[in-house]
Amino acid sequence: MSRFSTDSVIAVIGAGTMGAGIAQVAAKAGHQVLLFDAAEGAAQRGIDNTAKGLNKLVERGRMTKDDADALVARILPVSVINDLAPANLVIEAIVERLDIKQQVFGQLEDICAESTVIATNTSSISVTAIGSSMKRPQNLVGMHFFNPAPIMKLVEVISGLDTDPQIAADIYDLSAIWGKLPVHAKSTPGFIVNRVARPFYAEGLRINQEGAADIATIDALLRECGGFRMGPFELMDLIGHDVNYAVTCSVFEAFYNDPRFLPSLIQKELVDAGHFGRKSGKGFYDYSEDAVKATPATADAQSAPSSITIEGDLGVAEALVPLFEQAGVKINRVENDEVEGMIMVGDATLMLTNGQFTTQRAGETMRPNLVNFDLALDYTTASRIALAPADQASEDAINAAIGLFQAAGKAVSIIDDVPGMAVMRTVCMLANEGFDAVNQQVCDDAAVDIAMKGGVNYPCGPIEWVTTLGLSYALDVLDNLIDAYGEDRYRASPLLLRKVAGGA
């Protein structure tokens, strides 16, 4: 039996972006909500904003006016913290400062009943550290919502060292009743989402820093080929580089400078310059009115081939074959279990990137006209693909490769020869981080995928994605990235190694 019911009174402290949204979620579920903010008038402003947002839903016919009014009426602004005494659960969404959170929780412990559960919406402070100053740290739990709280499904339920497991379980159940997708996680830097998401930004930044592709091309590839809603650069511009860079730095420092989380110098430059992104009018992109919108590099039209030869198994890229057939390309298949799957078109050989430089792979396979292509979330629906030719590939070969993918309906972006290309290395690194979080007992496999889909809208959980790709393939990509860079950053998680060793 959960300690919470619809009759439970929910208090929310901090009526800013997150607090107002959380109050709305609780009120929608039928609770009486007490909303407190230290700034005068802020609680009422938060409620007014909620009412405005709900009115839009009413106008669009997605909610009745009666329901919207009743929801707003259930949120009561209170002007002194003592008025939170009746709360069964207090959710804190105030300023992200350990000392202030501890001071507020000290007050709450004196004001509320001993049984009151205190939840913090912190996104970066250790729940264990917050609890260290409390009389009843067992009553403290992380309840990490995502912005905007009424829309984003995920709630990370964070247990500190002293959190009562039954309280974490009850908060998990309550979140589910509120229509959320909760996951359990141990209090560790970045919890799940802010940890596992780091490579989404880091790999894009790295590829760009190395000059392999410009920002608009990388963004387009992650969107149109990777299926992500936004590419890394447009997303960082939206989040704000000050915030995004600070999160990366805090995770890096919290993991004792693990190179996996190394912050990026090109992002630091933007922060130093005050180019924070959309909010300052300039980040990676220019948001001024007369700015010319950056567009992705797209290859000119090349002629479609009449026939191709496919040798071996293309794995996930087999989905391309029907597209080539539909384009009227004759396909000769050569069965061969001994080689990695490849497509021969004109002078060119095409292979799914394996994390090596194409140039190096061309030398090893003695196929100078090798062109690597990138991973797609779904080769059938992807509207763009990246090709990375070997340095020694001829222009005719590159054009033949372009023509084939164009015949299959794809816009083609030629990128410089960078190990693992754009989507492949990003996805393998995301999954690797997910496996490492699981390996370090932060959460289970399923939680990683739920968290990344529900918290940051990933089109597919990174673990399910590499499972489809083949875990041994993902491991090869990471091993090849280590060979190329010689950096610990790309070391495979022991859990991935173990799963591959076990035949997964």
Q: How far, CA to CA in Å, does 413 sit from each of 111, 363, 407?
A: 61, 23, 14
104 is a site residue for ligand NAI (CB under 6 A): yes
Catalytic choice (156, 234, 311, 433): 156
Exactly one of 5, 79, 147, 380 binds ligand NAI (CB under 6 A); which one? 147
Any residues with CB less than 8 A from the CB of 498 and at least 6 apart, and which? none
Q: In angstroms, what is the C-alpha Rg of the chain?
A: 25
- Give yes or no: 156 in active site: yes
- Give yes or no: 144 in active site: yes
Please report the DSSP string for 59-71 in residue order.
Answer: HTTSS-HHHHHHH
122 is a site residue for ligand NAI (CB under 6 A): yes
Taking the alpha carbons of 252, 257, 258, 259 in that order, is the dihedral positive or negative?
positive
Question: Which residue number, 147 or 303, has a Cβ lying nearer to ligand NAI?
Answer: 147
In this chain, which stretch among 143-151, 311-319, 325-333, 449-457 interacts with ligand NAI, using CB under 6 A?
Answer: 143-151
Q: How far, CA to CA in Å, does 139 sit from each of 2, 35, 160?
A: 14, 20, 10
As a dihedral over the C-alpha atoms of residue 56, residue 58, residue 59, residue 61, rounded to 10 degrees, the angle is 130
126 is a site residue for ligand NAI (CB under 6 A): no
42-81: contacts with ligand NAI (CB under 6 A): 42
Strands (DSSP E) along 1-97, which ranges?
10-13, 33-36, 75-78, 89-92
Strands (DSSP E) along 160-230, which ranges?
181-186
Exactly one of 23, 93, 155, 422 binds ligand NAI (CB under 6 A); which one? 93
Exactly one of 9, 10, 12, 19 binds ligand NAI (CB under 6 A); which one? 19
Parallel, antiparallel or unpaired: strands 75-78 and 140-145: unpaired
238 is a site residue for ligand NAI (CB under 6 A): no
Exactly one of 100, 273, 291, 331 binds ligand NAI (CB under 6 A); which one? 100
Nearest distance, CB of residue 401 and ligand NAI, angstroms:
42
Catalytic choice (88, 175, 194, 369): 194
120 and 130 in contact (C-beta within 8 Å)? yes
The count of chain residues that interact with ligand NAI, using the rule CB under 6 A, is 23
195-234: contacts with ligand NAI (CB under 6 A): none
Nearest distance, CB of residue 437 and ligand NAI, angstroms:
18
What is the phi/psi pair of residue 335, to 5°?
Answer: -70, 130
Question: Which residue number, 93 or 422, has a Cβ lying nearer to ligand NAI?
Answer: 93
Residues that bind ligand NAI (CB under 6 A): 13-19, 37-39, 42, 93-96, 100, 104, 121-123, 145-147
Catalytic residue annotation: 123, 144, 156, 194
